[in-house]
């Protein structure tokens, strides 16, 4: 009987080691191809957005560079947005997100797009959420503001656009600038 317990333990341990190997292999390949590795939104930033951000009911949101969709699951749970789309090229993070969505009660409002975030048509979204490294923010800045519709809001987590002043800034409890809001015209943001 003890043999079976040890066998099951070794099989489970082997599975975890295999998954870790896949993750680190994917991370290595992402860095080798000069793609951004996945870093999930920080829980304290999500709590801050829940307290301070106002997103109008019935509108649409796209998360560019979503990783596993953690931020979109947050938005679908706490905001009355009807259409949420996530887009990324990180296959490991997308696979993880699909797995997590199986257990998520609001998953029917989420849709996934695999692909380059530069190739996405953002012209009809009301909100664009971004949590990307600074060099990606610089590369996307002109394209985002040229493509987004009037009245759309860009919600940027942690790393602001380098050449534009945000319309509003949400600060955390230590008065650090954390969430940056950009619009093409005035819209109630907080």
CA dist., res. 59 & res. 56, Å (int): 6
Region 14-28: mean pLDDT is 76
Q: Binning pLDDT at 50, 70 and 90, where does residue 13 land?
A: confident
Name the pLDDT band for 46 (thresholds 50, 70, 90): confident
pLDDT for res 186 = 45
Phi-psi group of 173: left, alpha or beta (phi > 0 → left; psi -120 to 50 → alpha; rest → beta)? alpha
Q: What's the average model confidence in pLDDT over 33-44?
A: 67
Task: Give the whole-angstrom CA distance, residue 106 versus residue 82.
Answer: 10
CB-based contact 152:160 (threshold 8 Å): no
Burial class (CB in 10 A: 0-12, 13-18, 19+), 164: middle
Q: According to the per-residue pLDDT averaged within each range, which of 21-35, 72-86, 152-166 is highest? A: 152-166
pLDDT digits (tens, 9 = 90+) for 60-108: 999 988 888 888 889 888 888 888 888 887 777 788 888 888 888 877 7
Q: Is the domain covering 43-183 a CATH 3.40.50.460 domain?
A: no
Confidence (pTM): 0.76
- For residue 32, name the pLDDT band (cuts at 50, 70, 90): low
Two structure tokens written together for 61:
């949101």
Do the Cβ atoms of 71 and 129 come closer than 8 Å? yes
Pick from 76, 54, 53, 79: nearest CA to 66: 76
Domain ranges of the chain: 1-34, 43-183
Assigned token pair, 116: 């380059």
The residues near 4 (Cβ < 8 Å, ≥ 6 apart) are: none
Judge contact between 179 and 53, C-beta under 8 A: yes
What's the rounded mean pLDDT across residues 109-127?
A: 84
């Amino acid at each position: 009987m003890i043999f079976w317990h040890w066998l099951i333990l070794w099989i489970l341990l082997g599975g975890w080691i295999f998954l870790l190997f896949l993750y680190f292999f994917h991370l290595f390949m992402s860095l080798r191809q000069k793609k951004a590795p996945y870093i999930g939104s920080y829980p304290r930033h999500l709590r801050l957005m829940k307290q301070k951000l106002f997103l109008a009911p019935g509108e649409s949101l796209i998360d560019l560079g979503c990783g596993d969709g953690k931020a979109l699951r947050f938005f679908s749970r706490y905001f009355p947005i009807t259409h949420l789309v996530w887009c990324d090229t990180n296959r490991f993070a997308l696979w993880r997100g699909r797995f997590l969505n199986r257990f998520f009660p609001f998953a029917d409002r989420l849709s996934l797009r695999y692909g380059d975030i530069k190739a996405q048509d953002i012209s009809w979204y009301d909100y664009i959420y971004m949590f990307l490294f600074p060099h990606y923010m610089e590369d996307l800045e002109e394209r985002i503001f040229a493509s987004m519709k009037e009245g759309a809001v860009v919600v940027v987590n942690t790393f602001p656009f380098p050449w534009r002043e945000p319309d509003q800034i949400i600060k955390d409890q230590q008065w650090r600038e954390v969430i940056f809001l950009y619009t093409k015209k005035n819209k109630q943001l907080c």
